[in-house]
Each structure stands twice: as structure tokens, then as C-alpha cells.
Amino acid sequence: MSYPLLERINAPGEIKNLPASDMPALCEEIRQFLIKSVSETGGHLSSNLGVVELTVALHRVLDFPQDKLLFDVGHQCYTHKLLTGRREGFAQLRRKNGISGFPSPRESDCDAFIAGHGSAALSTAIGIARAKKLKNEPGKVVVIVGDGAFTGGMVYEGMNNVSKLNNLIVILNDNKMSISKNVGQMANYLTKLRTDPKYSHVKAHMETTLERIPVAGDALVRVLQGGKQLIRRGIYKSTMFEEMGFQYIGPIDGHDVGMLTHTLTNLRGEQYAPVFLHVVTKKGRGLKPAEENPGEFHAVSSIDLNHLTDPELSPKDSFSSTFGCALADLGDDEPRLCGITAAMKYGTGLNFFKHRHPGRFFDVGMAEEHAVTFAAGLASQGLLPVVAIYSTFFQRAYDQIIHDVNLMQLDVLFAVDRAGLVPGDGATHQGIYDVAFFSNVNIPIFAPANYAELRYWLTYLVREAHGPRMIRYARGGENPALAALPCTGARYDVLDPVDGARVALVSYGAETEEIIAAKDLLAQHGVQADCVKLTQLYPLPDGVCDTLKHYDTILFAEDTVRTGGIGEQLGFAMQQCGWQGEFLLHAVDNSHLLHANVPELRKDQQLDAAALCTDILNALKEKQA
Ligand SMILES: Cc1ncc(C[n+]2csc(CCOP(=O)(O)OP(=O)(O)O)c2C)c(N)n1
Ligand SMILES: CC(=O)[C@@H](O)[C@H](O)COP(=O)(O)O
Ligand SMILES: [Mg+2]
């Protein structure tokens, strides 16, 4: 496939060398490039297809790096990367030596800030805009925020602080979708703005009328501009954005690249207030199955475009779907059980719970803080809420876990999905901190290593446990070696103990796969080792130190951070019980976390079987020396 126009753009600004008449064709080329490339490498697809014209128009108008362009969440930045000289990098998208799937200042000075977690970009943009003002720097700060991201609380904190920043342009990319259909009162409000004929018709008429008033002379211009705004405000109800000090413009067609360019060219001029541009787009535009089912094409692994399976007919084999189905079963005879998601019902598998218990399912939008405290409210009235959120997004709700759930020891079950190392999304999405922050507030933690253990321990945590408790599991499916392990119901297991073994390899969850492989590698070197798999992580299970005391060398491996991790806690406990052996700890060094597949990330982090084996062999060699 050739992209004659796109191939003429190999550096920031080169898009401006093309005539305006080429822009629709350029957008089509970009769209075809994205469909082909992302279907091969995997990545975010429907969100990127929805912002092609908007991003092209922005690049026609803005001057990088003086002007700043930010993306909320950042998963829709692919066109921006294509137009800033990174087309070649797409062959290695989200891979170790390729480009990130999110904005990355390390890749280009046209990427103003990192992104990954939603609802934060407006705050960043306000900070940058304020800094420009303080430094008397020219240039605009433009931030694209999706309607899904607009369900997150930080956006309102930012709007509350926007004051008179007239160098700021906020672009609401309104496509009615979060990952699945957008939810809540904000979504309803935006629907009204999009569809209220009184508003949009009057607005269009008044804009035309007001623009016709002839103006001349500087002072008169300012008076009339102010007058126009007063008339606008008087004649039709202002939006909440105008009430917060923005000039609201829209809703406008987010796929009309000419009109977008014209509008943005005008907005790039001196403004009397921050601008709020409401753009309406179609998520998945240009790929029919993605237009019809944008949620299914939000984040894709490599896909065969000629044989797209019906998303409804292909429930995924994963920890998430196992969790969702098991919770739905538990909900049949536990009427107190409620399922809560923060805009990720499919990602967490709660769609299965919703299907069975729609009245006890809650999607609160991209609002993890609210999700946790909402759960606390439910629990305070005797219900049993299960909050299912990715590990990385639970970071948002750390205070709510402590302040609103833990202090009152409320009956809340935290289901931490995408726990451990996560492929593809890179540094912003790794599930490596939850063990530290849940254990340091004394919340019990369970880490099933396969589906059978997930079902067993989820049942225990729903039916028998009380107070705050947490269960965590990895992205994707169970590893075959771990699927073969029997579910003993024990809180830790010594797997196939070997008589006389003096080395213990200890781990939990998905990382257990590596210590099992390391045991085989050690046996090839004549070293017998036992594998000890923890299922209850916190508090450490009774008896585990007594069991481990019989070994001379213990290696602990976990795909979470070292400080505050279980390895650190176990090492201290072994010291406390008087054990004199050697304790080796392999954990995540979060100073270098790239976008890569799990095997690569584990290798990078010395968490793969070979690294564990080498560490033991070296330790034994030193002992013998
Ligand atoms: C704090 C946080 N919660 C959840 C997510 C997962 N997530 C990524 S994109 C997305 C939906 C974004 O919707 P929107 O902002 O409307 O962008 P669109 O995909 O529609 O362009 C969600 C929930 C996230 N990145 N950050
Ligand atoms: C951008 C974002 O935060 C989500 O789209 C995330 O990438 C989804 O992750 P999974 O693919 O693991 O559901
Ligand atoms: Mg959206």
C-alpha cells in the first residue's frame, strides 16, 4: 500500500507544505495506514481513527514546539506521531525498541507531556499555559480531552482553576464513547448540547448575525467583542463551560478537516478567555466493524481484518472473564453482592456480572476515586461491593482506600486486574505498586495463580472474609504450567518438594511460572530446588517462615516493586525468626519500564527463569569459594 501524501511528511511542520486541497486525501491515507499498521502490531485503533481530521487540522495550524498539544489518556496520539516524523516507528509500535503507544517527550519535543491515565491532561495543560504566561512566552496550549475522560474528577478540578488563561484551547472530543458507551450525567449533558435544536440552531444563527456586525478601530473592536459575548449569553442559555469562564464554540463536525482548520486558525489568534471547542466525532471512523463496535476495537491485538470475529461470540479466555463469570455465579445467592467498574466493564469482565445482575452493577465512569468511596457508602449500609479496577488505575484511589474504606474496616472487596507486568502499554500501565500500597494499610491480599484458585479464593473472600480485602490477577489467560497446578486451598504450597533440597524459590501469581522453569534449569546444573508458591500474600501465611527455615538459600521473585513488596516483608520476617541463610530478591526496578511484551519485560527486569537460575548458581559458587 502506498501513501504518497503521508510519505511527504517526515518532520513536524512538513504538513504545511501540502495544499489545503490535499488534506481530505491525506486524512484518508492516514486512516488506511492506521488500519493496516495497527491490525499488524496491535494497539489502540478506534480512538485513533476518530481523531484523524482533528489532528491534521491542528497540525495545519499549530507551530511545534512553541505551541503545545496534549492528549488526555493519550491513546489517540497516533496521527500526531505520524505527522511528527515517526511513521517508520509504527512497525515496532509498543515494542521494546519501537515507539510508545502514548505521547512520549523522550521520542519527540512535539510530545509536550506523557499520558496514559485519563482525566489528567487538562491539569497539565493549565500548568503549561500558566507557565507560558509567567514566562511571557508566546504560543497556544491545546488539549484534546475525550468525553470519557470528562467523567473523571480531575477535569473539574482543572476547569475550576482555569481562570483567564486565554492561551489555552480545550478540545472536547465527543464521540459518545468511553471504551464502551459513555455513562453518567455528563454524557447526558453532552447529548443535549449535541442535539438541542434550540441551542445549536440559535447559536449558528446568532454566530452568523453577530459576525456580520461591521467593526472598525481597536477600541470599538473590544467594545463590540464584549457586546457580542453579552448578546450571545443573553440570547441562548450558556453552557456549563461558559459558566466556568470558557468561550464555548460548537458543537462542530470533527471530520470536516477544512472547517476544523478554519475554526482553529481563528482560535489561534488573540482570545479574551480560554476556549472550549466542542468537536463531535465518530469513534472507529473509516473501519465499518469499528464504527459499529468501537469498544471491541478500542485496544486490539494483531487482528485479521478479513476474518473479524463477532465480539459477542468470542468471550475471552482470561482471568478477567473468569472473575466476571464467577462473581455472577456468587451473586445468584448473595443478594448483597454489587459489582463496580470505572468505565471498564469489558476489560474487568464485569460485563458478565452486569448481564446476570443488572440492578447491582455500577459503571461510574473514569472515576476510580469515586468508585472506591461509592463502594464504602454501599458497604456502610450492609451491601458487599466488589470494586474491579486495573492495578495501575487503583493508584488513583489510594486515599479513598485508606480514608473511606480501611479506617472503618468496611466490607469492600478490591478486585485488582492487570496485576504485575503488563504488555504493550508501557510505564504508565504497569500493575506493580498495588501489593505495596494495599499491604501497607494492612489489607489482606490474595494472588491466585490459575482460574481454579481464582474461583476458590473469590468464593472465600465473598462468603467468609470480612472487612477490606483484595484479590489480584494478571492480564490475559492462565499460564499452562500454572493451570496444571492443583487448587489445594492452602495459603501457600511447596510444589513437588524434593528430598534434601537446600534451595527454595518463592513467588506468587503469574511470576510463579518463572520459578518453576528456574527449578528445571537448576536441576540441569545438578542443583535441587523447591518451589514455594504463595497465594495469601498479606499478611504472610502462618507457617511459611517455619517451612522456609529448612533451606540455606531463598530466592524470592515478584513482578512488583521491591520497596514495600512481599519479598522485602518475607526477608525481614525470616530475619526475625532467626534464620541465618542467604535471601536473594528479584523485584521490579521501575526506573526503566518500556512498552513491551511480558517475556521481554521479565527479561529486562531479571525476572525470567534464566536470570533467577544464574543468581542461585552464582550465590552457591560464592558459598563454595
Ligand atoms: C484513570 C484512567 N482510568 C481508566 C483508563 C482506561 N481507559 C483508557 S481510554 C478510556 C476511555 C477514554 O474515553 P474518551 O476519553 O472518550 O476517549 P476515546 O477513546 O473515546 O477517544 C479508558 C476508560 C485510563 N486510561 N485512565
Ligand atoms: C488506554 C488505556 O488505558 C486502556 O485502553 C488500556 O490500554 C486497556 O488495557 P487492556 O488492553 O489491558 O484492557
Ligand atoms: Mg470518547
Ligand closest to Cα of 367 equals 1
C-alpha to C-alpha distance for 205 and 199, rounded to whole angstroms: 10
Which ligand sits closest to the CA of 346? 2
| Residue 162, all three cell numbers | 482555569
Give the separation between CA 625 and CA 620, rounded to whole angstroms: 9
The CA distance from 20 to 617, in Å, is: 65
Q: Indicate whether residue 114 lines ligand 2 (CB < 6 A).
A: no
Q: How far is the CA of 299 from the centre of ligand 2 (A)?
A: 6
Answer yes or no: are the C-beta atoms of 119 and 48 closer than 8 Å. Answer: no
Q: Compute, in angstroms, the gap from residue 19 CA to the centroid of ligand 1.
A: 34
Report the C-alpha gap between 294 and 287 in whole angstroms: 10
Per CATH, 319-480 and 492-624 having the same topology is answered yes
pLDDT at 213 (0 to 100) = 47
End-to-end CA distance of the chain: 62
CATH 3.10.20.30 describes domain 319-480? no
- CA 430 – CA 419 distance, rounded (Å): 8
Residue 206, pLDDT score: 46
Rounded-to-integer distance, Cα 36 and Cα 396, Å: 35
Burial class of residue 624 (count of CB atoms within 10 Å of its CB; 0-12, 13-18, 19+)? exposed
Q: Which atom of ligand 2 is nearest to the CA of 393?
A: 3
Regions of the chain where pLDDT drops below 70: 197-237, 309-315
DSSP state of 177: B
CA pair distance 24, 255, nearest whole angstrom: 9
Q: Is position 75 annotated in a ligand binding site?
A: yes
Is the CB of 254 within 6 Å of ligand 1?
Answer: no
Which of 150, 157, 178 has the most ligand 1 atoms within 8 A of CB, as the residue to mutate?
A: 178
| pLDDT attached to residue 216 | 47
Q: What is the pLDDT of residue 306?
A: 75
| Ligand 2 atom at minimal distance to the Cα of residue 344 | 13
- Ligand 1 neighbour 146 (Cβ under 6 A): yes
CATH code at 6-288: 3.40.50.970
Query: Residues with Cβ < 8 Å from 597, sequence gap 6 or more?
Result: 95, 423, 424
CA distance 58 to 74: 16
Q: Which are the contacts of 276, defined by CB distance < 8 A and separation ≥ 6?
A: 170, 172, 239, 241, 242, 246, 247, 248, 249, 250
Question: pLDDT at position 220, please?
Answer: 59
- Give the pLDDT score at 313: 45
pLDDT at 225: 60
Range 195-221 burial, b when 16+ CB lie within 10 A, else e: eeeebbeebeebeeebeeeeeeeeeee
Q: Is 59 marked as a binding-site residue?
A: no
| pLDDT of 226 | 60
Say how many Å lie between the CA of residue 90 and the centre of ligand 1. 22
Cα–Cα distance for residue pair 17/315, rounded to 1 Å: 47
Q: 498 by DSSP, 3-state: which?
A: coil
Measure Cα distances from 331 to 175, 348, 358, 459, 601 in Å.
33, 16, 11, 10, 37
CB 612 within 8 A of CB 454: no
Instruction: Tell which residue, 386, 532, 510, has the closest CA to residue 453.
Output: 510
Query: For residue 384, how far is the Cα from the chain centroid?
Result: 26
**Cβ within 8 Å of residue 96, ≥6 positions away:** 594, 595, 596, 600, 604
Tell me, what's the pLDDT at 230? Answer: 59
DSSP, res 500 = T
Q: Which residue has the cell 492495578?
A: 391
Q: Does residue 174 contact residue 251 with C-beta atoms inside 8 Å? A: yes
Buried b (16+ CB within 10 A) or exposed e, 378-390: bbeeebbbbbbbb
Q: Which ligand is nearest to the CA of 75?
A: 2
Q: Which amino acid is at 211?
A: E
- Which ipTM value was assigned to this complex? 0.99
Q: Is 292 helix (H, G, I), strand (E, B) or coil?
A: helix
Q: Which residues pair with 338 in a beta bridge?
A: 385
Interatomic CA distance for residues 567 and 586, integer angstroms: 8
Contact status, residue 203 vs residue 249, Cβ threshold 8 Å: no
Between the alpha carbon of residue 256 and those of residues 32, 59, 581, the distances in Å are 18, 14, 69
> Domain ranges in the chain?
6-288, 319-480, 492-624
DSSP string, 418-465: S-B--SSSGGGG-B-SHHHHHHTTT--EE--SSHHHHHHHHHHHHHT-
Q: Could you give the CA distance from residue 477 to residue 601 in angstroms, rounded to a whole number?
A: 17
Gap between the Cα atoms of 477 and 468, Å rounded:
26
Which residues form the catalytic set? 283, 368, 396
- CATH 3.10.580.10 matches 492-624: no
Residue that has been written with the C-alpha cell 466493524 in this structure? 289
What does the pLDDT read at residue 197? Answer: 65
Nearest CA to ligand 1 atom 8: 73
